[in-house]
A and B are shown apart, each in its own frame.
Chain A
Amino acid sequence: MTSAGPRNVRAREAATSFLLGLCSACIATAAAAEQPADVRALMQRLGRVERVEVAYQERVESGLIDTAVGTRGNLLYQAPDRIRRISDDGDGFALEGNRMQLIRGNQVADELIVPEIKPLAALVGTLRATFAGDLAALQADYRLDYGASEQAWTLDLAPRAMALSPLFQRIRIVGNGATIETIEMLEANGDRRTLQMRLLAREPAGIE
Chain B
Amino acid sequence: MPLPKPPRRLILLATWLVVLGLLALWNGFNLRPSTDLSQFLPRGVSLQDEVLLSQVRGGVAARTLLLRIGGKRPTEALADASRALASRLRNDEGCAQIANGELDLAMRETDPDLFRYRYLIGPPGACVDALTEAGLRAALEERLAELASGAAMLDKERFGADPTACYRQLLRALIPQRTPDRRHGVWFSPDGGHALMVVVTHAQASDLAAQRRAVEQIREVFDDLPESTGLTLELAGPGYFAVGSEQRIKTETQVLSIAAGIATAGILALAFRSAALVLLGMLPLLSGVMVGTALVSWLFGSVHGITLALGATLLGVALDYPVHVYAHAAGADARQTKPVWRTLLLGMATTVLGYAALAWTSFEGLSQLGVLAAAGLITAALTSRYLLPALMPVGYRLPERRWLAAFQARRPQWSPRAGTGLLLLGLAGLGLVLSIGGNPWETDIRRLSTVPQAEIEKDSLIRAQLGAPDVSRLLYVVADEEATVLERLEAVLPDLEGLQAQGLIGGFDNVARWLPSPQTQAAHRAALPERSELTARLAAANAELPFRLERLAPFVDDVDASRDLEPLTAADLADGLIGTRVSMLLQPLGDAWLGLVPLSGVADEAVGPLEASAERLGIQYLDLREGTADLLAGFFAETLDKFLVAALVIALALALALRSLARIGLVLLPIVVALVWTFTLLILIQGSVNLFHLVSLLLVAGLAVDYSLFLNRPAADEADRLRTLLSVSVGAGSSFAMFGFLALSAIPALQAIGLTVTLGILCAYVLSLLLARAESVG
Q: Give the most central of B99, B148, B171: most A CB within 10 Å.
A: B148
Alpha-carbon separation in the docked complex, A91 to B171 (Å) = 22
Q: Report the separation of the CA atoms of residues A20 and B148 in the bound assembly, to the nearest whole angstrom.
A: 12
Question: Among A5, A15, A66, A121, which residue has its beta carbon within 8 angstroms of that of B546?
Answer: A66
Chain A: interface size category: 35 or more
A17 touches B149 (CB 8 A): yes
Decide yes or no: A4 and B108 within 8 Å by CB, A15-B154, A64-B548, A189-B156 being known contacts.
Answer: yes
Q: Is B184 an interface residue (CB 8 A)?
A: yes
Whether A144 sits at the interface, judged by CB under 8 Å, is no
Quick check: is B533 within 8 A (CB to CB) of the other chain? no
Stretch of A31-39, A76-84, A109-117, A134-142 with 4 or more beta carbons under 8 angstroms from chain B: A109-117
Q: Are A6 and B172 in contact (CB under 8 A)?
A: yes
Q: Return B538 CB to nearest CB of chain A, in Å.
A: 14
**How many residues in B have their beta carbons less than 8 Å from beta carbons of A?**
44
**A3: chain B residues within 8 A (beta carbon):** 107, 171-172, 174-176
Which of B154, B172, B581 meets A167, CB within 8 Å?
B154
Query: What separation, in Å, do the CA atoms of A116 and B175 have in the docked complex?
Result: 15
Secondary structure of the A side of the interface?
mixed
Rounded to whole angstroms, the CA-CA distance of A5 and B547 in the bound complex is 24
Q: In the complex, A5 Cα to B103 Cα: how many Å? A: 9
Query: What CA separation (Å) do A12 and B147 show in the bound complex?
Result: 11
Q: Is the CB of A6 within 8 A of B175?
A: yes
Contact among A1, A13, A193 with B146 in the assembled complex (CB-CB below 8 Å)? A13
Q: Which residues of B contact A71 (CB under 8 A)?
A: 145, 148-149
Q: CB distance A12 to B151 under 8 Å?
A: yes
Q: Does B159 contact A (CB under 8 A)?
A: yes
Residues 91-115 of A, flagged 1 when their CB comes within 8 A of B and 0 if not, give 1100000100000000000000101
CA distance A187 to B153 in the complex (A): 8
CA distance A167 to B150 in the complex (A): 12
Q: Which of A5, A16, A91, A189 contacts B108 (CB 8 A)?
A: A5
A87 touches B546 (CB 8 A): no
Does A204 sit at the interface, judged by CB under 8 A? no
A157 CB, min distance to chain B CBs, angstroms: 16
Given A2-B107, A115-B184: A9 in contact with B147 (beta carbons within 8 A): no
Whether A116 lies near B172 (C-beta < 8 A) is no
Among candidates B107, B150, B168, residue contacting A193 with C-beta atoms closer than 8 Å: B150
User: Does residue A41 face the partner (Cβ distance < 8 Å to B)?
Assistant: no
Q: Which residue of A lies closest to B99 (CB)?
A: A1
Q: How far is the CA of A67 from the CA of B546 in the complex (A)?
A: 6
Q: Which of B151, B182, B577 has the most CB of A within 10 A?
A: B151
B76-104 interface mask toward A, CB cutoff 8 Å, 1 = contact, 0 = none? Answer: 00000000000000000000000101111
Do B149 and A13 have beta carbons less than 8 Å apart? yes
Say which residue of A6, A58, A65 sits within 8 Å of B168 (CB atoms).
Answer: A6
User: Is A62 close to B, CB under 8 A?
Assistant: yes
B551 to chain A, nearest CB (A): 5
A70 close to B (CB within 8 Å): yes
A residues 113-138 near B (Cβ < 8 Å) are: 113, 115-117, 119, 121
Known: A2-B107, A9-B168, A117-B103. A62 touches B175 (CB 8 A): no
Q: Is the CB of A64 within 8 A of B103?
A: no
Chain A residues near B147: list those with CB within 8 A: 60, 62, 64-65, 69
B79 and chain A: residue at smallest CB distance: A115
Known contacts A13-B151, A113-B182; decide if A4 and B548 are in contact (CB<8 Å): no
- Which among B99, B101, B149, B167 has the greatest number of chain A C-beta atoms within 10 A? B149
Q: CA separation between A4 and B109, bound complex, in Å?
A: 9
Residues of B within 8 A of A65 (CB): 144, 147, 546-548
Q: Which residue of A lies closest to B580 (CB)?
A: A2
Is the Cβ of B148 less than 8 Å from the Cβ of A6? Answer: no
Please measure, in the bound complex, the distance between the C-alpha atom of A189 and the C-alpha atom of B160, giving whole angstroms.
14
Determine the distance from Cα of A35 to Cα of B150 in the docked complex, in whole angstroms.
30
Q: Is A63 an interface residue (CB 8 A)?
A: yes
* Supplied contacts A8-B154, A187-B153, 10 more A-B pairs, CB within 8 Å: A4-B103, A8-B108, A12-B154, A13-B152, A16-B153, A116-B102, A117-B103, A121-B185, A167-B153, A191-B153
The 6 closest A-B pairs by CB, nearest first: A13-B151, A5-B171, A12-B154, A16-B150, A116-B185, A3-B174
Q: List 8 A-B contacts (CB under 8 A).
A: A1-B107, A3-B174, A58-B149, A64-B548, A87-B149, A113-B185, A189-B157, A193-B150
